[in-house]
Amino acid sequence: MRYEFSRRGFLGGAGAAAAGITAASTGAAAAEGARRELPKGRSVLPGDPRYQTLAQGFNQRWSSSPAYIRLVGDEADAVAEVNRALDAGLRPTVRGGGHCYEGFVDNDQGVILDLGTMRGVAASTDRFGRPTYGVDGGATNWDVYTTLFREYAVTLPAGSCYSVGAGGHVCGGGYGLLSRRHGLTVDHLVQVDVVTVRGGRAVVTKAHREDAPGSPEQDLFWAHTGGGGGNFGVVLRYHFASDVPQPPPRVWLSSVAWPWAELLRQPADFETLVANFGAFMAEHSGPREAVYQGLFAILKLTHHSNGNVVLFSQWDGADPAPLDAFVAAVEQGMTTRPVVQTRSAGGLFLPYPDKRRRMPWFQATMTLNPSGDNERGKHKSAYHREPFAPAQIAAFWDWLTRDVEGVDLSNTVVQIDSYGCRINARRPEETAVPQRDSIMKLQYQTHWTDPAEDEKHLAYLSGLYRDVYRETGGVPEVDTATDGAYVNYPDTDLGTADQPDPDYPRLYYKGNYPRLQRTKAYWDGEEVFHHAQSIIPAGP
Per residue in 209-232, pLDDT (tens digit) is 999 999 999 999 999 999 999 999
At residue 147, what is the residue type? T
Rounded CA separation 82/203 (Å): 9
Confidence grade of residue 27 (pLDDT, cut at 50, 70, 90): low
pLDDT at 57: 87
How would CATH label the architecture of 121-246+497-524?
2-Layer Sandwich (3.30)
Contact criterion met (CB below 8 Å) for 145 and 151: no
Per residue in 279-310, pLDDT (tens digit) is 999 999 999 999 999 999 999 999 999 999 99
For residue 146, the number of C-alpha atoms closer than 13 Å in the C-beta half-sphere is 11
Rounded CA separation 90/83 (Å): 10
Long-range contacts of 115-122 (CB under 8 A, 24+ apart): 115/72, 115/165, 115/167, 115/234, 115/236, 116/71, 116/165, 117/42, 117/71, 117/72, 117/73, 118/72, 118/73, 118/74, 118/236, 119/143, 120/237, 121/147, 121/148, 122/147, 122/151
Task: Please state which CATH number belongs to domain 39-114.
Answer: 3.30.43.10
**pTM of the predicted model, to two decimals?**
0.93
Order of strands, sheet of 111-114, starting from the edge strand that comes earlier in the sequence? 43-44, 68-71, 111-114, 92-95
Q: How far is CA 126 from the centre of its chain?
A: 26
Confidence grade of residue 341 (pLDDT, cut at 50, 70, 90): confident
Rounded CA separation 480/371 (Å): 33
pLDDT at 477: 99
Confidence grade of residue 357 (pLDDT, cut at 50, 70, 90): very high
Domain with CATH 3.40.462.20 in the chain: 250-492
Which contiguous run of DSSP H or E holds residue 379? strand 376-384
Rounded CA separation 382/450 (Å): 27
Domain with CATH 3.30.43.10 in the chain: 39-114
Topology, domain 250-492: Vanillyl-alcohol Oxidase; Chain A, domain 3 (3.40.462)
Question: E strands of 61-161, at which residues?
Answer: 68-71, 92-95, 111-114, 121-125, 131-136
Rounded CA separation 144/135 (Å): 7
pLDDT at 368: 85
Which contiguous run of DSSP H or E holds residue 258? strand 250-259
Contact criterion met (CB below 8 Å) for 105 and 23: no
Per residue in 386-407, pLDDT (tens digit) is 999 999 999 999 999 999 999 9
At residue 429, what is the residue type? E
Rounded CA separation 517/209 (Å): 19
pLDDT at 73: 94
Rounded CA separation 60/62 (Å): 5
